[in-house]
Structure 1
Amino acid sequence: MTDRPAPWLTIIGIGEDGYDGLSEAAQCALSSATLVYGGARHLELVEGKLANTSCQLKAWPSPFAKGIEELAANEGQNTVVLATGDPQWFGIGATLHRRFSADEIEVIPHLSAFSMAASRLGWPLQNVETLSLHGRPIDVLRGFLFPGARIIALTSNGAAPGEIADLLADEGYGISTLTVLEHLGGAKERISTCEAEVYSADAADLNTVAIEARSIGNTPVLSRSPGLPDSAFRHDGKITKQEVRAVTLAKLAPVPGQLLWDIGAGSGSIGIEWLRAAKNTKAVAVEPLEKRRVFLRGNAAALGTPDLKVVEGKAPEALTNLPHPDAIFIGGGLTSKDIVKTCFDALPSGGRLVANAVTLEGEQVLAESWKKFGGDLVRLSISRADPIGGLTGWRPLMPVTQWSLVKP
């Protein structure tokens, strides 16, 4: 067992109660630091208490990456970085741990805004969805709405509560209870509650928003389980139909943190449902037609997955330099065996590949790929009940041939 070296970088979470709200360990780390980095608000909270120390206070520079470079240049100096609340919960802690080893860093967290908001509302935090909309598209919220949902969200500024209220009303959740919690834990703390559709207040830039979701009648409930109705997507007919999509996603097996290539993405239904199905997933949608890329971006925003990356081009050329995938779906462009080989080679061991075809030419490519690489080859036939005159009959959809495998 080796001795762990003393950390040179301390990340301290601080609240609106400032220096006096810090633990003894945090106060000691601050007073003994050579350099103290933080946002302007953070530095104002402590500078009066550090006037008689030798530490240098430095505002975090812009762009953000420049601050990381300065820390690296001063590596080994006794340095403190001030952050809001819990630095490891949507905070700077994760970023700094990607750059420096855990042995170099000590984290002293403060109460998070999530914990304080849940305490004020009496909500059990384990049953609450916690989101950060700080510097992120507000459309992310759309993917977490259902009747009865409790959501606590960090925001970017004082305009955010009004934008959230408008989004809720747009989604049919205007009667949801919206609570705006400003300057939590400080002398200026203020909490206001109303229905989202009547919200009209001005909020402080430092605020957290809590939502207790309630929907008006006939508002569709969109599950995060794969198989959304086709009507949830705008498309020009190029869409993997609901029943086939559910089977396809089951074969792709979304896993938290993993990346999907959605090739010939069309409306984006596969990539979007992949992102909705598991936390922190990533997806790249490759689509050559501009009209469909417009559908893609609109569907991604409307269904709470604005982080879907859209790439213009055809496979296999457009796949060059993409981040390595964990799973691949080929929904279009199955005119060449080169696409299949490129995709197979790109997958790691344990990666999943699923390809669907509705044409004879596409079926031939899949049959040959199945013989060469193995896996499963199935044919999916779906019929939907439809009026025939005054009676009802089965109207078949185009059969889909599906090839899937897990790479050895």
Structure 2
Amino acid sequence: MARVRLNDVTKRYEDIVAVNEMNLDIEDGEFICLVGPSGCGKSTTMETIAGLTKPSDGTVHIGDTDVTKLPPKDRGVSMVFQNIALFPHMDVYENISFGLRLRKYDKDEIDRRVDRASDIVQLEGMLDRMPNELSGGQQQRVAIARAIVREPDVFLMDEPLANLDAKLRVHMRTELQRLHKQLDTTIIYVTHDQAEAMTMSDRIAVINGGKLQQIDPPLVCYNEPANLFVAGFIGSPSMNLVRGELAANGLRTDHFDLEFAVDDLESAVGDGVTMGIRPEDIYLMKNADSVDSASEVIEARTDVLEPMGDEIFVYLSLDDTSSEMMTSEEVSTASNQLLMSVDPDTVIDADESVSVVLDRSKIHLFETASGTAITHGIADLSSRPTAVEAEPTPTEAESGGQHE
């Protein structure tokens, strides 16, 4: 195992800054995911750790050693790429042992390491097979075993599951978590798939535009995003983001208001503020009594319904605009649209008038200009009682329940 530290690492390509003053401190034995959109700098960051790319500025430490100027072979790292790149003319044993044979390890030591690695990734009985006789998941295990036999201080994995089908990706995520427990070593994993990041990692490093946006455990990034980018990126579907302005008694938007004690915030009246709320934290009015602190009632009309099996996504229009041609990401940032999730047994139709409330404890506020988080939850910002349920409309009375 080894601790990995990046101190003010910057990588420039002429007039492009791929990584901008990156500071990371990864503990011994930690599984950390570098996550972000394509082109954000996460792979460049990993290549800098591996020694495949030299930083323009800053230093890289692995353990107690400054490895900034060391070649990859002397850094004690092994890397697994998106492209599995097995030698087609070599069997599994030869592919796994290739690096050891190149370094002229003793045959007994090679056998010991290959047997151990193949046992860890469950390749027993397959060592004499050729790559074209293996499934995609088995080929990926060979690539991982090839990295394991080096017994590195740090594993670097650059989107190793990207070329697998959805079902196999889920299976391999479980395998990688088991691998991490067995090896008890440091793993740095690059992905654009937030599901992989949320389920596998001890901490997530969210990167955008070459800059580190937030590094925290997955649920902290989900429940307490540091800024608007993290709020919109982490979570599927995305968090609803609605722009407004701070007033003397709360937040004003084009379609609804929220009352709370503005004096308790560092922002001032008149400042542009973006409210964030996740789809699962929006409730039909008839379920408002299940929310500890419900917001003011918001009138809306159901637009598009998306049954997902375990839940239904309901696109809500706050005016007459339809979301039919909009993606869930576009809806999440449209000021006249909200995306709500309800239980699969909820009886609800398209083009239906509904009243909804927000869970005030799950409402996030961000500075619109800078994107910085102001507060997570406004329930404690006001002593105003929970919204009193109004008389249900006939349509609401006939509707089913929503998740609590």
Q: Normalised by the size of structure 1, how large is the TM-score?
A: 0.28
Q: Which has the higher helix share?
A: 1
Q: Normalised by the size of structure 2, how large is the TM-score?
A: 0.29
